[in-house]
Amino acid sequence: MRHKSWLFGLLLLGCAFWLTATLRAQDDCENPLAASVTTLGTSGITGDASLCIDERATGASMGVQGLVPGNAYTLWFVVFDNPANCGNYAGGTPGVCTGSDAILPSANPQGVFGRMNGVIARNSGSASLAGHFSNLRLSHGAIVWLLMFGHGPAITTDNRELARQLLTPQKPALGAPGLGAVGDTTQGGGVALAVFNIP
């Protein structure tokens, strides 16, 4: 009997922790920033995205339609902490952030990026991707991109190359071989974008 009481108490404690965490997550995302997902190039991908920021964490999600079934996609979180510093390179427009600001100047680019998620598109052509970053701080006036990369048909016969499709941007210009191996069958490229201005 004592064993059953102990198990019941443990179950109640677990439920209390789960409920607290669930309510906390709801509180965190009570007033998320929202943005539309726009097509890059001819991908035809559309959808909606949200960004939730608090003192301890930043959460982001993107729901999209128009993916090519069987293709691999990755989602990247890009931060331009001070957009006024963007575009200060040959051919850039001062104050306008572009993908070049994530790699130029190579010694200290304005953009900082990291992988959020990766997926092989289902037959429906839709997907929901999300990421959570503990202790990430976003400055007032910063710009955040949720940038989706397309990687072509998922290479399911080669686990190493599939890992590159789902874990890296596959852009050697960003840093070969870690962020893109020249010998990969496919190279990644932007297919959809959501932009947030941090108040």
Span 6-33, pLDDT tens digits: 444 444 444 444 333 333 443 457 779 9
Q: Give the E-state strand segments of 97-188 in sequence order.
A: 111-120, 127-134, 143-153
Say how far apart CA 93 and CA 83 lie, in whole Å: 11
Grouping H, G, I as helix, E, B as strand and the rest as coil, residue 105 is coil
| Residue 30: per-residue pLDDT | 73
State the DSSP H helix or E strand holding residue 46, giving kind and residue range, or none if neither: strand 46-53
Q: Which residues pair with 76 in a beta bridge?
A: 115, 147
Q: What is the pTM of this model?
A: 0.84
Q: How confident is the model at residue 45 (pLDDT cuts 50, 70, 90)?
A: very high
User: Is 144 within 8 Å of 196 (Cβ atoms)?
Assistant: yes
Q: What is the mean pLDDT of residues 193-199?
A: 97
Q: How confident is the model at residue 89 (pLDDT cuts 50, 70, 90)?
A: confident
Helices and strands (H and E) in the chain: how many: 2, 8
